[in-house]
Amino acid sequence: MTTDVLVIGSGIAGLTYALHTAIDRPDLKIIVLTKTNEDETNTKYAQGGVAAVFDDQKDSYDKHIADTLIAGDGLCNPSIVEIVVKEGPQRMREIIQWGTAFDKEQDGDYKLGKEGGHSENRILHHKDITGKEIERALLAKAHELPNIEIIDYCFVVDIITQHHLGKLITKATPKIECYGVYVINLETNQTEKILSKVTLLATGGCGQVYRTTTNPKIATGDGMAMAYRAKGRIENMEFIQFHPTALFEPGKRFGQAFLITEAVRGDGGILRNSKGEDFMIKYDKRLSLAPRDIVARAIDNELKVLGDEHVFLDCRHMDIDKFKDHFPNIYEKCMSIGIDVSKQMIPVAPAAHYSCGGVKTNEMGKTSIDYLYCCGEASSTGLHGANRLASNSLLEALVFGYRCFEDTIQSIDSISIMHDIPDWNTEGTTEPKEMILITQSIKELQLTMSDYVGIVRSNVRLERAMKRLDLLHQETEQLYKTTTLSPQLCELRNLITVAYLIVKSAQFRKESRGLHFTLDYTEKSDLVQNIVL
């Protein structure tokens, strides 16, 4: 199969790019791949909303820029922050025009919520299901356009480069080129190739590398791992954001945890420990609305000191009708497990939520590999630095989806498809006999990462994690060489690669900054640097 433009991922990043390109260039063929059904993305689960300056009276670009820089703890690229904050509102108007509905006040102005680290109310939202609404609208628009084809249940295994033409590629190779991808077609179970002029990686995050995460099962860091294998540059992977308030459900030890959006704290929800204390007083003057790294670390400390498994989010003092209006999904979910938020506190604990690092790009979303762009959570554009400001992720995906499109149409007419690509080699492989070898390794990996590479780290813990990862790596490479490809095996391989990148980057960072806190270097270093692998 060949296409002009290949998009890997059907979340906000991939669809924004595909839509702009398809509308501007109806003559181009655009294929969007997604590994399960088209709407199963991190995007669909986004709750709080999108941060953008829409109130010219109280808010300003300068304030949004300052809040982003403060949260990023010295590592944001200021020029990228300015680009995203200033271009964001226009990108928002475009998705509104494409049919996304954000909640409005009676006078027609947008309702603007507040989240941790924001000095003003600036979060546009759709109840507490903002991501679901965005995903719905973007998919509906994509289905209207004849030059976009969405192929679901199509698992991308690897990016094709000169390596697949038999050439030796290293990080030092000056001009690595992307010619398309190898995929497992999950309808036929065949491994096929899709060749393209340009390819966009919009594969999202890697929350599944941890035992408990707000991310769905698809978030296995495939794009980051593929880019790394193709010798692309990966940046700042140590900065994994733990969301402070994932719903704690007893007995649910692995997998996706339901999020209680930070907007609940923005509307007045208060964190309390098992003694009923508003413990954030001890940690930060912004209390429950301090940036996420600070709140998650404070909770982690409370849990360790008190020997508890969760803290509480107290909403009992809030107006229940307003709560139900803004957070109907959370209200229902809590009710379904026997918690009436007007009478009982919600048990919450931190869970892996967002990868601030990823595939390194320039200001137009170009990676270090030619003809390969990256945007959305898989990328590291320089916006988030050491800690992402709440609700800046969807905004970044919109702005960089557009920027990747702008760059693509400048160059695509001078690019040809490379047809001379060999088929996937299945020689020497047999069907897997025991899936347990894969599923158990994934669990071991998740435990290792949660126990040793979580909110608080140390040299000894990182060293231990690396040893465990080495073993998992050896066993999995053996399986990979001898077994027919399956998405499960590829995901395990990708998770191990991403875990390795997180640990290695954490080992290089000899300081505590933003989301990376280590007991061995508790202060910030004077050397302000990004870790690039």
Q: Which residues are catalytic?
A: 292
Compose the 191-220 pattern: x for residues touching ligand FAD by CB under 6 A, - for all others: -----------xxxx--------xx--x--
As a dihedral over the C-alpha atoms of residue 283, residue 288, residue 290, residue 291, rounded to 10 degrees, the angle is 120
Q: Name the residue among 218, 77, 215, 202 with its Cα closest to residue 150.
A: 202
**Residue 530 Cβ, how far from ligand FAD at the closest point, in Å?**
20
**Residues in 8-27 at the binding interface with ligand FAD, rule: CB under 6 A:** 8-14
Residue 486 phi/psi, 5-degree rounding, is -140, 155
Q: Rounded to whole angstroms, how far apart are CA atoms 369 and 360?
A: 10
How many chain residues bind ligand FAD (CB under 6 A)?
42
E strand or H helix that includes residue 350:
strand 346-355
Quote the crossing angle between the two packed helices 78-97 and 130-144, to the nearest 10°: 70
Interface with ligand FAD by CB under 6 A: which range of 163-171, 364-372, 373-381, 406-414?
A: 373-381
As a dihedral over the C-alpha atoms of residue 128, residue 132, residue 137, residue 139, rounded to 10 degrees, the angle is 170
Interface with ligand SIN by CB under 6 A: which range of 191-199, 342-350, 387-395, 463-471?
A: 387-395
Enumerate the H helices of 370-417 as residue ranges: 393-411
CA distances from 317 to 162, 323, 342, 344 (A): 62, 11, 7, 10
**Residues in 323-362 at the binding interface with ligand SIN, rule: CB under 6 A:** 354
Amino acid at 460: V
Which listed option, ligand FAD, ligand SIN, none, makes contact with residue 280 (CB within 5 to 8 Å by class)?
Answer: none
**Residues in 257-286 at the binding interface with ligand SIN, rule: CB under 6 A:** 261-263
Q: Is 42 in the site for ligand FAD (CB under 6 A)?
A: yes
Nearest CB to ligand FAD, comparing residues 218 and 466:
218
**Residue 392 Cβ, how far from ligand SIN at the closest point, in Å?**
7
Copy the structure tokens of residue 315: 């909403």
Q: Is 376 in the site for ligand FAD (CB under 6 A)?
A: yes
Q: Is 47 in the site for ligand SIN (CB under 6 A)?
A: yes
Q: How far is CA 161 from the centre of its chain?
A: 25
Q: Is 350 in the site for ligand FAD (CB under 6 A)?
A: no
Quote the crossing angle between the two packed helices 78-97 and 393-411, to the nearest 10°: 90
**Residues in 140-179 at the binding interface with ligand FAD, rule: CB under 6 A:** 155-156
Nearest CB to ligand FAD, comparing residues 206 and 462:
206
**Residue 133 Cβ, how far from ligand SIN at the closest point, in Å?**
13
What is the binding site for ligand SIN (CB under 6 A)? 47-48, 261-263, 354, 390-391, 393
